[in-house]
Amino acid sequence: MNEELLGKVILKNGYSQFRLRQAKKNVFTRLIESWDAATDLPEDLRALLAREVPIESLSARLLVESAKKDTLKALFATRDGLFIEAVLMRHDRDRRTVCVSSQAGCPMKCSFCATGKLGFKRNLTAEEIVDQVLFFARLLNKKRESVTNVVYMGMGEPMNNYDNVMASIRALNDKDGLNLGARHISISTCGIVPGIKKFAKEKLQVNLAISLHATDDKTRSRLMPVNEAYPLGKLMKAAGEYAVATRRKVMFEYILISGVNDSDEHARSLAALMGKNKLYHVNLIKYHETFAKGGTAPACPATAAVFRVPARERMNRFFDILKKSGVSCTFRVSFGEDIAGACGQLAPKE
């Protein structure tokens, strides 16, 4: 829902700020699905809003649920005919996280990621990003549940759509909107250094995650072409400056890929890269095959032929080396792998 358009339509047609607040409450708190349900608004205003301010900028085309029933993936069509995906993860009894996309496709071409195979279509608007969250908020509301967390870890590179991403965060954080706490929102970047530096100056206490995935430039460039522009030296310098400026944790994401970045030597190199910085935390992630069945992702045979999931013993060994080296680290739980909804698997098709 376009908040700027909502304000213009209501105020320019002679309605008060009170009516604007009521309208926003209907969308973000009552989570209405049509203006007809906003019964506290005058009938003529409801008719005006129905004509000029659509509640949804996206059309949900498909909703698939994982076998464990802990993950829902939605396929959306934009008004100009593009397709994006977003994922709802049910972590436990109370925590509900929405993983949103910030771009249609992605220009970064990470070799392990299905989204990167799609190429880049366009940036999503702030409205389209917020509407992904609102879609799941409405579903949860019917079960007397609510969205508790939002992560910008879906399709696209958030730092390459900086202004729209930040506008969407402010809308989600707005006390008159979803009122989602900034500390419950996380942005993940593949390592866009200028974006990290800009983000360090924001006043919102939003979390930062950096996709690392390798500890030497040769391997990282193979996995992530962005490393050519922003190699590890520049990236780690920016991360350190961010931590000093904000006094907030930096989460480093590290996908374990068999025979590529999962050896004991790699683990020790990662520990050395983290150093003794108490504000650094490593999230280890198992590689998710990008040809998963049962979802909306197309096959990616090129990646499937190269990359494999490490054995559980190898991943445990990697984790143990980090822990014994004093690195703060956790294994991220995988959600929705069977519906192509896990990290690196989003790649929608109609």
What global pTM score does this model have? 0.92
Q: Is 85 marked active-site?
A: yes
Q: Could you tell me which residues are annotated as the binding site for [4Fe-4S] cluster?
A: 106, 110, 113
**pLDDT of res. 350:** 57
**pLDDT of res. 229:** 97
**pLDDT of res. 214:** 97
Q: Could you tell me which residues are annotated as the binding site for S-adenosyl-L-methionine?
A: 156-157, 188, 211-213, 288
The CATH code that applies to domain 59-339 is: 3.20.20.70
Q: Could you tell me which residues are annotated as the binding site?
A: 106, 110, 113, 156-157, 188, 211-213, 288
Q: Is 202 marked active-site?
A: no
**pLDDT of res. 335:** 86
| CA distance to 88, 157, 202, 230, 240, per residue, from 252 (Å) | 22, 15, 20, 16, 12
Query: Of residues 190, 300, 329, 343, which has the active-site annotation?
Result: 343
In the chain, where are the structural domains located? Answer: 3-52, 59-339
At residue 22, φ and ψ (nearest 5 deg) are: -60, -45
Sign of torsion over alpha carbons 227, 261, 100, 278: negative
Query: Of residues 85, 127, 128, 337, which has the active-site annotation?
Result: 85
pLDDT in tens, the chain (350 residues): 888 999 999 999 999 999 999 999 999 999 999 999 999 999 999 999 999 999 999 999 999 999 999 999 999 999 999 999 999 999 887 899 999 999 999 999 999 998 888 899 999 999 999 999 999 999 999 999 999 999 999 999 999 999 999 999 999 999 888 999 999 999 999 999 999 999 999 989 999 999 999 999 999 999 999 999 999 999 999 999 999 999 999 999 999 999 999 999 999 999 999 999 999 999 999 998 875 343 343 333 334 447 899 999 999 999 999 999 999 999 988 888 888 888 888 888 65
CB-based contact 86:339 (threshold 8 Å): no
The two beta strands, 185-189 and 83-90, are unpaired
CA 105 to chain centre: 13
